[in-house]
Amino acid sequence: MLREAFPGLNNTVHGKPLVYLDNAATAQRPQTVIDAVNNYYLHCNANIHRGVHSLSEQATELYEQARMSMQKLINANSHREMIFVRGCTEGVNLVAQAFVRNRVGAGDEILISHLEHHSNIVPWQIVCEQTGAELKVIPMLQDGSLDISQLDNLISERTKFVSVVHVSNALGVINPVKEIIAKAHQHDVPVLVDGAQSTPHLQIDVQDLDCDFYTVSGHKMYAPTGSGILYGKEKHLDDMPPWHGGGEMISKVTFEETIYNGLPAKFEAGTPNIAGGIGLGAAAEFLMQAGLENIERRDQELKAYGEAKLSQVEGITIYGNVADKAPVFAFNLEGIHAHDIGTIIDHEGVAIRTGHHCTMPIFQFYGVAGSCRASLSFYNQETEIDQLVDALQKARNLLL
């Protein structure tokens, strides 16, 4: 029934039914999200927070309801801790510039992991260039897991911030973020968790994790592109200066001074992606109605089936062979370039991702330029994994 909620899965590619296995890049949208966006544009298209007319009030209510839905989804303590952003990239950059930059200097260290997406590497390199701080990296092991045994050596009095991905977009590996957060907090070091890939797959409880910041990208969790949330503990957000200046984030402006608005408006300058935010709220409601526990169970069924089937393909190398992972498979076929595989199986209707997946350091570790990546959602089926395997066999027969 849940699969039927996604009309985009009914498309055809090259005359064949679509097999969509690129969910780590962006997921399909359920009809409820599409309807929520359409409803805004059709029936209450107006700017929010600033109008007393009916359309503006209706739009404002829908937008703020979406904030509350996201608060409930990740179990934040207050709606004041929920900042609308365009996605995880903007959320990380906001924290890097408004929270971390003024708290580090020469000799200080920022700690990330080897499994990070470029959007959780480059912002910290920029901060290090600006301040003289140094970037440290939790190393990875051959199976794709992090070498957590190195944490005690890496976290010290010089460590001022930790930023780590919850689920690897390239390998699907689920990192022990709660353990990392606890170790960091023993040294009074705040932690940001990149939740781009975890929110669609796992039950997230930011209070239980005790993370200081958590980022969410809407388009990974069945919401519109350009939507997302930065969660931050209220005490941190209160202490942070605004990152963008403009309308909405002010309470008073004169030519002599500006008094900033309270949370969450302080970080939401300008007219936002209203439709995207409303769609994000609809996606959160969809996930909660579907039940994250059901999604986790389905993910593990697909992961087990995918591992068994893909391992039968001759010449295949699968990266990230750990038990605790999402249904994401990064692989190469011996003697065949990943781009050639992706192009050929596209003609079989199978959509996967090829390249380095914005995680160049991971594939440098494995000594390859990149990989194919099949990333599944709960709406995928075992028969689609079979179709992927059949398409890979055809590619192999054609190219070797």
Q: How far apart are CA 75 and CA 288, in angstroms?
A: 12
pLDDT of residue 2: 86
Q: What is the pLDDT of residue 190?
A: 98
Tokens 């959602």, residue? Answer: 377
Mean pLDDT calculated for residue range 63-87:
98
- What are the b/e assignments for 185-206, b being 16+ CB within 10 Å? beeebbbbbbbbbbbbbbbbeb
pLDDT above 90 as % of the chain: 98
State whether the Cα torsion 139-142-146-151 is positive or negative.
negative
Does residue 358 have an active-site annotation? yes
Task: Kindly report the number of other CB atoms within 10 A of residue 104's CB atom.
Answer: 22
pLDDT in tens, 275-322: 999 999 999 999 999 999 999 999 999 999 999 999 999 999 999 999
Q: If you average pLDDT over residues 75-102, what whole number do you get?
A: 98
pLDDT interval class at 1 (50, 70, 90): low
Query: What are the residues whose beta carbons fall under 8 Å from the beta carbon of 57, sequence distance 6 or more?
Result: 51
Assess whether pLDDT exceeds 70 at residue 206: yes
Domains and CATH numbers, the chain: 32-289 (3.40.640.10), 291-399 (3.90.1150.10)
**pLDDT tens digits, residue range 359-378?**
999 999 999 999 999 999 99
**pLDDT band at residue 50 using 50, 70 and 90 as cut-offs:** confident
- Catalytic residue, from 128, 211, 358, 372: name it: 358
Structure-token pair, residue 191 = 């932690």
> How much of the chain, in percent, has pLDDT values that exceed 70?
100
Mean pLDDT throughout 19-26? Answer: 98
The answer to whether the pTM exceeds 0.95 is yes
Three-class DSSP labels, 14-64: CCEECEECECCCCCCCCHHHHHHHHHHHHHCCCCCCCCCCHHHHHHHHHHH
Determine the pLDDT at residue 51: 81
Instruction: State the Cα–Cα distance between residues 113 and 165, nearest whole angstrom.
Output: 8
- The predicted pLDDT at position 187 comes to 97
Q: What is the mean pLDDT of residues 193-209?
A: 98
* Gap between the Cα atoms of 63 and 316, Å rounded: 47
Whether 336 contacts 395, CB under 8 Å: yes
- Mean pLDDT for all residues in the chain: 97
| Confidence (pLDDT) at 95 | 98
Give the pLDDT of residue 400: 84
Residue 107 — pLDDT band, cuts 50, 70, 90? very high
